[in-house]
Chain A
Amino acid sequence: MAKLKQQSLQKRDAELANAKRQVEILSNGIFANGELPTFAKKIKEINKLPLRPKKLEILQINVGYMCNQVCEHCHVDAGPDRKEIMTWETMELALEVIKNTGAHTLDLTGGAPEMNPHFRRFVEEASKAGIKDFIVRSNLTIIRANKKYHDLPEFFKKHNVHVVSSMPHWTKGKTDKQRGEGVFDMSITALQQLNAIGYGMPDSGLRLDLVYNPNGAYLPGDQASMEKEFKHALMEDFGIQFHNLFAITNLPIARFLDYLIASENYEDYMYQLVEAYNPAAVENVMCTNTISISWDGYLFDCDFNQMLKLPVASKVKHLKDYNEDLLNDRNIVISQHCYGCTAGAGSSCQGTVTE
């Protein structure tokens, strides 16, 4: 059983549980006094202000902030104490959108999406819509957390779900430090279970990808090199296989922002992000091809804006009014956290965004 590290910011009634306060912090200090350029100023230099969407490719639905883990870096501030869960009524609205969307990818996230009581029914219905790539972001430990979740790998297989799982490192020490004691061992067992039914095997159509994010106030290394290291170590030590590794930058919001400030790393981290700013990454940043839907049916440019409570700048703000053409004619809402998606090779829920 994994041992939880802490409670969510919300449960602790912490200052940064307030999204407005987070946006203030990101707008003030080194960005207000001109020490560092704002993201808007930076993308104006390459004529990308206002940032506009391209063709919609990905619908990302956050089905709730409840999670069995309380990871130190979590941008959702998820945990067992979070009660925001998508209702079946909202899921029905989402299903209508899924049936009619032009997007080729459906991406379910959370929290632990599997903890939503309607999760299986929703996956069953959504998988009928003929979406090309159906992703569930599973934290792996949920599969081992309770008997009722043990058959999730078979359930995923039945619906041809593409499993994307967090795995911060190939060593126990680094993984447990970020995600809680016991997480590494449970994740390894879950990965072996997924491999056993065909997930992640070289020629298998059952896609299993891993997500790596740094264990502190530094940026991810080269995605291809990290993938090589992960593959070698997981195969050597545990006989585990997977398809791709997505290297994701930690964005300075919610618990990661809280950590940066408490550890006095905030300014240095923002400097790192700004120094690593890559104009080429702006072209493919994920908000240009994604719509993020919150547990209560509201629409956002990305999961990060959702957590900062920065809704889409469009007349269409909720699933009940969903209109893809109208939505695509909007300016994307930006702040300084956006530097996290344009640093180095860029970062998105699908990993880097440049070649």
Chain B
Amino acid sequence: MASNNYYDPADLRKFGEITEWSEELGTKFFDYYGKVFEEGALTAREKALIALAVAHTEQCPYCIDAYTKDTLQRGVTKEQMMEAIHVGAAIKSGATLVHGTMMMNKVNKLEM
């Protein structure tokens, strides 16, 4: 590794290079990726905001870097960006808490 860090911002530019070590799969992935973000039933702007929220729940620094820039390019305001992240955060915390029902079920089963 050229760097002492696990994450290097310059590596984001190398993303396309993954194709070099597995051309067919890499190409198929990028074709799919590009297609996903095209205008469809959802606008490209809506998709970029979803991507920004998911980038945060996945805690992917490269994705946060890329989709912060991407949403800015699409004229999204910082208030809208933060609200999107809250949606991700709410689902993340909700997903944790809803598992509390499993704990409750288990407790109810085990306790006399």
Given A225-B44, A275-B13: A218 and B69 within 8 A (CB)? yes
A234 interface contact, C-beta 8 A:
no
Residues of B23-43 at the interface with A, using a CB-CB cut-off of 8 Å, are: 39, 43
- Bound-complex Cα distance A269 to B44 (A): 23
What residues of chain A lie closer than 8 Å to B75, measured between beta carbons?
A: 169-170, 212, 221, 226, 229-230
Chain A residues, CB < 8 A from B69: 218
Q: How far is the CB of B5 from chain A (nearest CB, A)?
A: 17
Judge whether A231 is part of the interface by a CB distance below 8 angstroms: no
Q: B74 and A214: CB pair below 8 A? A: no
* Contact (Cβ within 8 A) B73 A218: yes
Q: Are A221 and B77 also in contact (CB < 8 A) when A271-B13, A275-B13 are?
A: no
Q: B56 contacts the other chain (Cβ, under 8 Å)? A: no
On whether the beta carbons of B77 and A225 are closer than 8 Å, the reply is no
Residues of the B chain whose Cβ atoms lie less than 8 Å from the Cβ of A170: 75
Chain B residues with CB below 8 A from A319, complex form:
none
**Docked complex: A222-244 residues within 8 A CB-CB of B:** 222, 225-226, 229-230
Interface: B72 (CB within 8 A): yes
B77 touches A218 (CB 8 A): no
Residues of B within 8 A of A257 (CB): none
The residues in A between 3 and 22 inclusive whose CB is less than 8 angstroms from any CB of B are: none
- CA of A214 to CA of B74 in the docked complex: distance in angstroms? 9
| Given contact pairs A222-B44, A225-B44, A225-B45, A171 touches B77 in the complex (Cβ within 8 A) | yes
Interface size class of A (residues with CB under 8 A): 20 to 34
Whole-angstrom CA separation of A173 from B78 in the bound complex: 10
Chain A residue numbers with a CB within 8 Å of B72 are 214-216, 218
| Cβ-neighbour of B43 out of A218, A220, A225 (below 8 A) | A225
B83 nearest CB across to chain A (Å):
14
Of chain B, the residue at the smallest CB distance from A174 is B77
CB contacts (< 8 Å) of B45 on chain A: these are: 221, 225, 229
Contact flags (1/0) for A177-220 with B, using CB distance below 8 Å?
Answer: 00000000000000000000000000000000000101110111
A43-55 near B? 1/0 per residue, CB < 8 Å: 0000000000000
How far is A230 from B69 in the complex, measured between Cα atoms in Å? 19
Smallest distance from the beta carbon of B85 to chain A beta carbons, Å? 18
- Let me know if B73 and A225 touch, CB within 8 A: no
- In the bound complex, CA of A216 to CA of B21 (Å): 36
Query: Interface digits, B46-86 against A, CB 8 Å rule (1 contact, 0 not)?
Result: 00000000000000000000000100111101000000000
Residue of B nearest to A267 (CB): B10
| A220 nearest in chain B by CB position | B73
Cα-based distance from A218 to B73 in the complex (angstroms): 6
**With the chains together, A58 CA to B75 CA distance in Å?**
30
Determine the distance from Cα of A209 to Cα of B91 in the docked complex, in whole angstroms: 42
A171 to B72, CA, bound (A): 13
In contact, A225 and B13 (Cβ under 8 angstroms):
no
Residues of A within 8 A of B73 (CB): 214, 218-221
The residues of B that contact A222 with a CB separation of less than 8 Å are 44, 74
Among residues 142 to 195 in chain A, which have CB atoms less than 8 Å away from a CB atom of chain B?
A: 169-171, 173-174
CB-CB under 8 A from B44, the residues of chain A are 222, 225
> Which B residues touch A271, using CB under 8 A?
13
22 example contacts (A-B, Cβ-Cβ < 8 A) are as follows A171-B77, A173-B77, A212-B75, A214-B72, A214-B73, A218-B73, A219-B73, A220-B73, A221-B45, A221-B73, A221-B74, A225-B39, A225-B43, A225-B44, A225-B45, A225-B74, A226-B74, A226-B75, A229-B45, A230-B75, A271-B13, A275-B13
Given contacts A212-B75, A218-B73, A220-B73, 14 further A-B contacts (CB under 8 A): A169-B75, A171-B77, A173-B77, A214-B72, A216-B72, A221-B74, A222-B44, A225-B39, A225-B43, A225-B44, A226-B75, A229-B45, A229-B75, A271-B13
A positions within 8 Å CB-CB of B: 169-171, 173-174, 212, 214-216, 218-222, 225-226, 229-230, 271, 275
